[in-house]
Amino acid sequence: MIPPLRPIPDEPPDFIPDDEPEPAQLNGHAPEEPPPPTTEFEGVEIPAQPTEQPPQDPHKYPLPVKFFNDLTPSLDAADFIEGVLISADMSVVYGPSNSGKSFWTLDLALHAAAGKEWNGREVDRCGVLWLAMEGQHGISNRVVAWREHHEVGEGDLPFAVIPVSLNLLNPDADTTPLIATIHAIKDRLGWKVGWVVVDTLSRAIAGGNENGPDDMGALVTNGARIQQETDAHVTWIHHSGKDEAKGARGHSLLRAATGTEIEISAEGSRLARVTKQRELECVGDFPFILKVIELGTNRRGKPVTSCVSIPPEGPAPDTTVRSVRLKGHARRAMDALNDVLGSSGASGFPGVPAGAPSVPEKWWRERFYDRTASDGKADMSQNGKRMAFNRAIAELQDRHIVGFNKDRAWVVGPPAHLPAQEAAHFSD
């Protein structure tokens, strides 16, 4: 007799009966899964990626992320001033008072606004915003003097000035309005603002402590925010410290955050020298003079003048090493470096200026130790020699006499003294 059929439940059971084993338990054990394919890289096995990957959601991660296989070579440094300044980066132009640093930077900025070749270098045209926190009344005369000297005529350039003091120290003060202004003036300029010049850092820090890491760090952070939110290069015009050989005034984190550093000197002749580059070759000496331009007469009938920065006439000045007064271990180290460069110096090493002969730091150190012994210091301990050499390196670097990178050393040539051909009555 056939037993009656069991009714079919409305929904399948939530479990599998004991007498019906799960697929994983068939034949009494779980089936083995094949291991992922691998590729070998210098003896290390790396799991191969699937040939097809699901599309990435750009909003999946809180911050922008690039993965290993997404990285491609960067073949263009995006230097909008060829070999000098990179787009969306940060730079510092510094020098002593009355050295001409603002005039020199303004000339470069107006060349960028005009897209005009500068010192034989190509220039990508961009909008320029000049923050005239010092010399608010003089900036107009300087721009007009440049316009007349270069015979721009009635043509317009994408150049604008904010002639008021700004507080770029406090993030809740003027940084946000400045960013909004940079975006807002694009239509009026007809060009995107690609360069913001802050004249000067000491005014922008708005009473903060340049030597303190907190205030200088806050200023640099706000500058980085301007870069990131506008994609513009930011230049700080700054002053030298009391010891001009030690570079720009203030806390060292400014230099650490800087992509390009340019020193302006006026010892006999005026010279702009590139002293740091993060992404470009660290080369560039740009001698200049300040030419007086008469703009008209004032209400008393007296001439009103300003200046423009221009290259000197005639052959390029010699920028070989001038004699410098060194004493003690610094002089001994300099003599040792000259000796070993003369016998074994070679050029073409990464991190060293093109064409500059350099030597390994080890060779220089050994020659210094030999000279120390021959100069009557034979009784100096090895530790004493090491400390003396390290102090000598620090002094030579601080005075921009010696360059040092990737364990190689070379001589940096300060400008020779040349006759000045410029007005003596101006300030920058």
Same domain for 224 and 371:
no
Mind listing the pLDDT tens digit for each residue in 128-156? 999 999 877 789 999 999 999 999 877 79
50 backbone dihedrals φ, ψ, rounded to 5°: -60, 150
Q: Which residue has the higher pLDDT, 349 or 107?
A: 107
What confidence category does residue 194 fall into, taking pLDDT thresholds of 50, 70 and 90? very high
Q: Is residue 395 part of a domain?
A: yes
Q: Is residue 112 part of a domain?
A: yes
Tokens of 130: 């000049």
Same domain for 245 and 147:
yes
Q: Is residue 249 part of a domain?
A: yes
Element holding 187 (H helix, E strand): helix 186-189
What confidence category does residue 422 fall into, taking pLDDT thresholds of 50, 70 and 90? very low
**pLDDT computed for residue 424 by the predictor:** 36
Name 285's bridge partners.
273
Q: Is the pLDDT of residue 196 over 90?
A: yes
* Mean pLDDT of all residues in 171-191: 97
Q: Is residue 129 part of a domain?
A: yes
* Burial label, 43 (beta-carbon count in 10 A; 0-12, 13-18, 19+): exposed
Q: Which domain holds residue 389?
A: 328-411
**pLDDT computed for residue 285 by the predictor:** 92
Mind listing the pLDDT tens digit for each residue in 359-375? 899 999 988 888 776 55
Q: Total structural domains in the chain?
A: 2
Strand, helix or coil for residue 233: strand
* Mean pLDDT of all residues in 95-115: 95
Same domain for 346 and 302:
no
How many CB atoms lie under 10 A from the CB of residue 302?
8
Chain position carrying tokens 């074994």: 344
Q: Is residue 419 part of a domain?
A: no
Name 38's bridge partners.
47
Angle at 186 between CA 206 and CA 178, to 5 degrees: 15
* Mean pLDDT of all residues in 181-197: 97
Mind listing the pLDDT tens digit for each residue in 323-369? 345 678 888 888 888 878 777 788 788 888 877 788 899 999 988 88
C-alpha dihedral (48, 54, 57, 60), degrees to nearest 10: -50
Q: Provide the residue type at 353 as one letter.
A: P
**pLDDT computed for residue 134 by the predictor:** 84
276, 310, 344 — which closes off a domain?
A: 310
Lowest mean pLDDT among 2-6, 56-60, 111-115: 2-6
